Structures are given as C-alpha cells and as structure tokens.
Amino acid sequence: MAQQHLDPTDPTAGPAPTGDALAVYLRAQATEFLRALRQYRETGTAPGTAEGSVEATRALRRSVRRISASLHTYRPLLDADWSEVLRPELAWLSGTLSMEHAYAARLERLLLALQRLSGAAVFPVQSGVTMGDRASEAVQLTAPHANAGPPSATPDRGNLTVGAAKAGALLERQLTLARTRAHSTALQALGSSRFHAVADTIAVLASEVPLTPTAPTADLRPLAAAAEERLTDAVAALPLVTAGHPYNAAALVHGLSPDPAPHPQDAPWHQVRLLLRLHRYAREALYGDKASLDVRLLTAGQALHRHRDASEAAAAAASAARTPRIAPATAYALGVLHADQRHEVEAARFAFQQCWQKQVVST
Amino acid sequence: MAQQHLDPTDPTAGPAPTGDALAVYLRAQATEFLRALRQYRETGTAPGTAEGSVEATRALRRSVRRISASLHTYRPLLDADWSEVLRPELAWLSGTLSMEHAYAARLERLLLALQRLSGAAVFPVQSGVTMGDRASEAVQLTAPHANAGPPSATPDRGNLTVGAAKAGALLERQLTLARTRAHSTALQALGSSRFHAVADTIAVLASEVPLTPTAPTADLRPLAAAAEERLTDAVAALPLVTAGHPYNAAALVHGLSPDPAPHPQDAPWHQVRLLLRLHRYAREALYGDKASLDVRLLTAGQALHRHRDASEAAAAAASAARTPRIAPATAYALGVLHADQRHEVEAARFAFQQCWQKQVVST
C-alpha cells in the first residue's frame, strides 16, 4: 500500500526490521499465551468465574493465531523441524478453542435476526451484529446497518410469531447442543497431553526463539511483502465488480439449490479473510502495535468476519429446516431467516468492496 | 425541475399550453380508446387471437389511465358534473382490466425468482424483471440486476429442489385461479351496460371535450405544477436517507411480523408511484410526446413499478405459506422467496433514491 510512504505517521519509517524483531514478537506472544493459560487455570475450575474463563480462552486463541501466522509467514527464518511440528498443533488448538464461541455467536446472531424480522427488534434497521471477541478486534463500519447494539443484548421473544418463536427454539436447541459439545471438547483438549506438549513448546518460545543462523540480521520485509501479495492476488480474484453493485442478488442465487454444499461462492471470500489476517499479523511482527492501528485493514477484516458469520448462520438456518417433522410455520420462518442471512453475506461483500476500493483509490 | 430550462431540447419552450391543448390530448386518448375497443371486439371472440386481445386490453387500460389522470389534474377546466360521473367509472374500468395481467405478471415474477434461487436461472445475477406492458413503458435501469432477460422466458423447473418445485406448483395453482377469475370478471365487465355507458361517454369525448367556458385560453401550467408539487411533497416524506444506504435491511423488518398487514411501510411508496404517473400524464397533456422522452421520470417510475410488483409478490408468497397442510420444504422455499422479494422491494427503493437524487443534483 503505497500511500503509507506519504504518511508522516508511517509505521514503516525507521531501520529495516530483522529476525530479531520477529523474535521479540514471538516471545511477546508466547508470554501472552502463558499469562492467558495461567488465568484460565486460576478461573476455569472455580465456580462463578465463567466470564474470566471465556476471557482467558479468548486470549489463548489470540496468541495462538499470531504465533501460528508468524510460523507461516516467516517460515524461512525459523528452525524448520521445530516449526513443522508446532504448526499443525497450533492449528488444532486454535480450531478446538474457537468452536464454542462460534456456536454461541451464531445463535445470538440468528436470534437477533429473528427478532428484527418480527419487527420486535430493539435496533430495527440494524443487522450484522459483530459479537464477542470479534467486536473487540473490529471497528465499526460506516454503513448504518453495522451500528451494532450492545453485543450482550438478550433477545426478547415476546413479540415473535409462532413460526419465528418455534424457529428460535429449534435453533437454540440445536446450537446449544453443539456449543455444549464444543465446550466439552475444548475442556478435554486443554487437559490432554497433546496440549501440554504444545504449552511446553510455547513456554520455551517465551525465552528462546529458534531462529535460523542468518535470521537475526535478515530483513523481514520481503516475507511480509509476499504475505501481502498473496492477499492482493486473492482479492483481485474476487468478484468485486458484482459485489460493488448494491442488490446484485448474487449471494442468494443458490438459496434453494438442490446442491448439498450450495455456497462454493463463499470460499474465496473466506480465503481472503485468512490471508488478510496473515497480512495483519505479519505487519504486527514488523511494526508492533502501530501496525494494528490501520483502520482500513480492521474494517476490511470486520466485513469479512461478518461475511463468514452470516454465511455460517445462513447454513445453520437451512440445516435446521431439514429437521424432520417441523411445522410449516417453523420452516417458513427458517426460510426467511436463511435468505436474510444470505442477504447479510451480500451486504458484507459490498462493505468489503467499498472499504477495499477506498484503499486502492487513496494509494 | 429547473434543469429543463437549460436544455436546448426543452419541451417547455414555446407558447403556454392552454385548455385547447388539453382538449387535443383528451380527444387523442379517447380516439385511442375507441381504436383499442374495436381491436378488442375484432380479436377478442375469434379463436387463436389471445395475443391481439391482450394487446387491445393493454391499449384500453393505457388510454383509460390517461383520461382518468387528466380529469384529476385538470379538473377545474372540465365540466364538473360530467367529470364527477366519469371519474369513478374510469377507476372501476382501469382496476377491473388490470387484475388479470397483474396476476400473470406476479406468477411469472415468482417462478423466475424460484428458478434464480435454485441456481437454475438463465440470468443468474438478475432480479427485478419488469414484465408485460410495464416493460413497454419503462426503460432499463442502470443497476446490473435490472438487465432483464426476455420477458417471455418460460421458467424451467428442471433443476428445482422438491421444496422450490412444490412452492412453484402451489403459487401457480393459486395465482392461475385468481387470474382466471380476473379474466372472467373483465369479460363480464366489458359486456356490461355499465361499460357501454363509459364507452359511449368516451366516444363523445373523441369529438367534443366538455371544457368550462374559460378553459380554452386558460394556462394549463399552474395545474400541472400543482400535480408536480404533490409528487415532490410525497417524495420528500419518503425515507430516502435510509433507502440510499444499500443493505439497510429496512424492507424485511416485518418479514415475520405477527401483524396481518405487515407492510404499511410500502404505502407511501405506492402513493408516490401514483403521483409520479399523474405528473407524467400531466406533462403529456402539456407537451405531447416530447414529455414522455424524460428518461429520468420513466426510470423513477420503473423503480416504483418494481417496488409495487415485488411488494405484491412477497405478499403472495407469504399468503401461499399460510395454505393448510403444506410440506415444511414448501413452506421453507416460500419463506426464502418472500424474503427475496422483500429484498427486491429494498433494491427498488434504492434504485428510486439513486435516480431521484440524480434529478435533484443535476438541477
């Protein structure tokens, strides 16, 4: 992004960051992991500390994502054997720890949508609520529908129709069950010897980063630039022209498709979300906290989070509609809900396109 | 619209149009009515002439709308007793003749949408097909989704899911029944003594327009300006700021509302559609064919037609979902379809806002 060279607060100013800076970054993330793990162990087992436990799990995921991303982006600068062993373990841990939160956020998103669709919403023109730790990493979009209300707002079912209420109850049953299972799986994972091995590796990483012999003085920027290039290449392959036309109706094209995996169109967007995160963390390793102040990257990331959340929520509504023996009114409400979330998918693509276009234009 | 005074092809150039111009316009419309009636009688009863009959009915409606609008806008210039008797008769005739076409267009819109939602559409990114005689009066919107395919495209059910196919069959049954009834009602109306009385009045109008004594030299423009002012006042009351934000999710707010008439939000838009038509016909009386070349008025009108069509199609899908003993898969498809059409409502409002804003900006 060339415009950064014109910016007086340019984080890229100063001497070239080297492998030493990467080591500082990895040690800091490893220390953060150990702090979160200590917090988790202190709060996780005591009664009435569920919130602290959620907070600790979130911090664990946060540091795991960053270590994992650094191993990916800066692979040539790190001991290959060490890195090859650790990377799949971090992916397993990150995936296992994220599921409980994902189910909870999905249920909250769907119940809020049902409420809004029933005209009973507290925030009538709003959709695209970003919840939980995603909100903490995200900035508000400028679009009016992104003015998210308090994430902790409890949906009120008072004014729902029978269909909407039944759909809400069905989703709550299904997603709460999934969440409970994910919680047990995460608990088991955190008590496993597999996890203890990962934690030991990270404990060592907090004091000693296995850089290659030439890494300490190697310039990090070419590797960071390669991560950015992978992102821009993937963005260039997105259908941004379509996405930039409001109400293009593309996201719902397969809304009633007989295809059991009807939304392959979402995959390139999910891929860009991951590449954007890698790019963001690569910049963090280079420039520290200053890198995370790039509002446009955060906004683009938020749009892609919203895309992913809406895509998964739409799938959950479609899946619930395949439950045997549901009432037609329930199925109808789930159909409306599915289409509403696919519309959110389309809105998120539009928001991303607008945000990305601004970046390109201001270059 | 002040910018017209800067336009070298300005239709308002030249001497002030008077009541005499109104008489010319009304005689022309009455002649057109008689021609269409003759065509209807020649083709309506012969076998294999259904298309000619549809064309004749369309021409009848077209002239009736214009005579009716002129009686409204230019009321002070026309004999009051004559006008008071004729106006409700024209409203009855216009309403009766339009129902058959409306049901046919609604069914076509819904079946095309089902096809698109099943990923089986011939025109995948398209929605907002404008059909039948509405298309003939309308220009294409610039938005990509308005690139309507051939209006006569026959929906192909080959690739629909069970739910979509059943929903399509249900809608076809219900709307074909309604259409058949509307056809019978229109046939009865055209054979009734009530219709013959209207036709006789219009036959007289074709040669003799009952102007008031002072009307022939009266300036038409203040009355036309009043019609325009009613339009601009109604537009000013629309929620155009919301409509101008893509994906505001406002149109679906009551998608699952327990309210049996859940879309009072559509009413002001329907009202603007009628006022826009009155304004357009008022200009025709003033400036003849040149007035109908105002592309922006046509585009705004098309957006409002699409708004009305999508609103009614969404209501038809919701109504079909209340059919007793339908399968959950059918209800689900109808829910998706309802939400899709409500998104079309939102898209049409956005298109109108964009078009109207352009008018205001270019003034």
By CB neighbour count within 10 A (0-12 exposed, 13-18 middle, 19+ buried), where does A161 fall?
buried
Which of left, alpha, beta for A247 (phi over 0: left; psi -120 to 50: alpha)? Answer: left
Which one of B118, B242, B259 has the shortest CB-CB distance to A256? B118
Name the residue in chain B with its Cα closest to that of A354: B246
Nearest Cα of chain A lies from the Cα of B108 at a distance, in angstroms, of 17
Q: What span, in angstroms and rounded, lies between the C-alpha atoms of A79 and B325?
A: 66
Name the residue in chain A with its Cα closest to that of B246: A246
Name the residue in chain A with its Cα closest to that of B258: A161
Q: Is the CB of A144 less than 8 angstroms away from the CB of B248?
A: yes
In this prediction, residue B253 carries a pLDDT of 84
DSSP result, A176-233: HHHHHHHHHHHHHHHTSHHHHHHHHHHHHHTT---B-TTGGGSBSHHHHHHHHHHHHH
- The count of residues in chain B is 363
A125 against A89, higher pLDDT = A89
Lowest mean pLDDT among A90-104, A159-173, A184-198, B39-53: B39-53
Q: Is the CB of B350 less than 8 angstroms away from the CB of A125?
A: no
CB-CB contact of A297 with A321 (8 Å)? no
Report the percent of chain A where pLDDT is more than 70: 80
How many Cβ pairs within 8 Å bridge chains A and B?
191
Q: What residues contact residue B261 under an 8 Å CB cut-off, 6+ apart?
A: none
Nearest Cα of chain B lies from the Cα of A128 at a distance, in angstroms, of 10
ipTM value? 0.84
In this prediction, residue B115 carries a pLDDT of 93
Which one of A124, A159, A247 has the shortest CB-CB distance to B145? A247
In this prediction, residue B127 carries a pLDDT of 35
Interface test with A, best of B263, B332, B338 (most A CBs within 10 A): B332
Report the percent of chain A where pLDDT is more than 90: 70
In this prediction, residue B128 carries a pLDDT of 36
Which one of A144, A145, A256 has the shortest CB-CB distance to B117? A256
Q: What is the DSSP letter of B18?
A: B
Which one of B114, B328, B350 has the shortest CB-CB distance to A247? B350
Q: Given pLDDT bands bounded at 50, 70 and 90, which one contains residue A53?
A: confident
Q: What span, in angstroms and rounded, lies between the C-alpha atoms of A282 and A278?
A: 6
Q: What residues contact residue B267 under an 8 Å CB cut-off, 6+ apart?
A: none
pLDDT tens-digit profile of A284-312? Answer: 999 887 766 788 899 999 999 999 999 99
Q: Which of B19, B30, B318 is CA-nearest to residue B199?
A: B30
Contacts of A357 in chain B (CB under 8 A): none
Q: Is the CB of A343 less than 8 angstroms away from the CB of B246?
A: no
In this prediction, residue A253 carries a pLDDT of 84
Q: What span, in angstroms and rounded, lies between the C-alpha atoms of B302 and B305?
A: 5
Nearest Cα of chain B lies from the Cα of A26 at a distance, in angstroms, of 41
Q: Is the CB of A164 less than 8 angstroms away from the CB of B256?
A: yes
In this prediction, residue A295 carries a pLDDT of 87
Domains in chain B, please, with CATH? Answer: 2-361 (1.40.20.10)
Lowest mean pLDDT among A21-35, A124-138, A193-207: A124-138
Which one of B144, B161, B247 has the shortest CB-CB distance to A145? B247
Nearest Cα of chain B lies from the Cα of A337 at a distance, in angstroms, of 8
Q: Mean per-residue pLDDT for A259-269?
A: 79
Which one of B125, B126, B253 has the shortest CB-CB distance to A116? B253
Contacts of B334 in chain A (CB under 8 A): 332, 335
Q: Given pLDDT bands bounded at 50, 70 and 90, which one contains residue A33?
A: very high
Contacts of A254 in chain B (CB under 8 A): 117-119
Q: Is the CB of A328 less than 8 angstroms away from the CB of B333?
A: no
Q: Which residues pair with B312 in a beta bridge?
A: none
Lowest mean pLDDT among A24-28, A338-342, B67-71, B248-252: B248-252
Q: Mean per-residue pLDDT for A23-36?
A: 97
Question: In degrees rounded to 5, what are phi and psi of residue A151?
Answer: -65, -20
Q: Is the CB of B335 less than 8 angstroms away from the CB of A340?
A: no
Name the residue in chain B with its Cα closest to that of A164: B256
Give the mean pLDDT per block of 10 residues along chain B (363 residues): 47 80 97 96 68 88 97 97 97 96 97 89 36 33 35 46 93 97 95 97 97 95 97 97 94 76 85 97 88 83 97 95 95 96 97 87 53
Name the residue in chain B with its Cα closest to that of A250: B125
Strand, coil or helix: B68: helix
